[in-house]
Amino acid sequence: MAGDFIPHSDGVFLEWAKTLLAYVSPKLMAFNIPQEALTPIQGLFTTYETAFEAAQNPNRGKVDVLNKNEAKEALTQSLRFFIKAYLTYNPAVSDTDKKNMGLPLHDSTRTPVPVPTTIPEIELDSSIIRQVTAAFRDAGSKKRGKPAHVHGVELRWGLLDNPPLSVEDLKNSAFDTASPYTFTFDETERGKALYICPRWENNKGDKGPWGEIYKAIIP
């Protein structure tokens, strides 16, 4: 398998497994690994080592090769489980330990998510009765939807008799991750003025600056 850290070649695999087991065996207590988790693998290794040697014999038969392949597969699967369960994310196992065992290093530092700095623009559509649809995009962009590193858009809105003096006058809030967002109203609200102000938000809840306040009349 491409990118697999387990060697494919039989002989190289044997030496890699031998190195890993020889390294981890005396460190079970330090790594907080129970002996019973390793014992079956040590048995599978012995089986594979014996089968491997038999398959190297010039007088080997098809059964010898089959036994070697089956023993290798059993050992491989057990090692994969053991490594994932007890080594890869074990805080007691250092990067140096992993390197000595021939294991890949995983970046444990998460890439920080930037706080949005741009503002959304929205395009309002009131062609459907009792509905106002807000399609949003990044300011200046010709493509609808959210920009990179943005989880969605917050839409502060309100039905007001007079234009709001600030965003704080808009007491309702909606959130959407995919453009457009549709507001739905009752028959009694037709003809009222809807004011909407958008801002971006990342997946950590960090919010960007507010955009303009938009107005639509509920059809």
pLDDT (0 to 100) of residue 140: 87
pTM for the full model? 0.51
Torsion angle, CA of 24/30/32/33, rounded to 10 degrees?
20
Digit-coded pLDDT (tens) for 87-142: 988 989 999 999 999 998 865 555 677 899 999 999 999 999 999 999 999 998 88
Answer positive or negative: Cα dihedral of 4, 9, 12, 18: positive
pLDDT (0 to 100) of residue 107: 58
Nearest to 211, CA basis, from 113, 124, 114: 124
Rounded-to-integer distance, Cα 156 and Cα 206, Å: 16
Position 42: which residue type? Q
pLDDT (0 to 100) of residue 178: 86
Rounded-to-integer distance, Cα 206 and Cα 201, Å: 6
Which residues does 183 contact at the CB level (< 8 Å), separation at least 6? 131, 132, 133, 134, 157, 174, 194
Residue pLDDT tens, the chain, 219 long: 334 789 989 999 999 999 999 999 999 999 999 999 999 999 999 999 999 999 999 888 899 999 999 999 999 999 999 999 999 889 899 999 999 999 988 655 556 778 999 999 999 999 999 999 999 999 988 888 888 889 899 999 999 999 999 999 999 989 888 889 999 999 999 999 999 999 999 888 889 999 999 999 999
> Burial letters for 111-125: b for 16+ Cβ neighbours within 10 Å, e otherwise?
eeeeebebbbbbebe
Q: Is the Cβ–Cβ distance between 204 and 126 less than 8 Å? A: no
pLDDT (0 to 100) of residue 2: 35
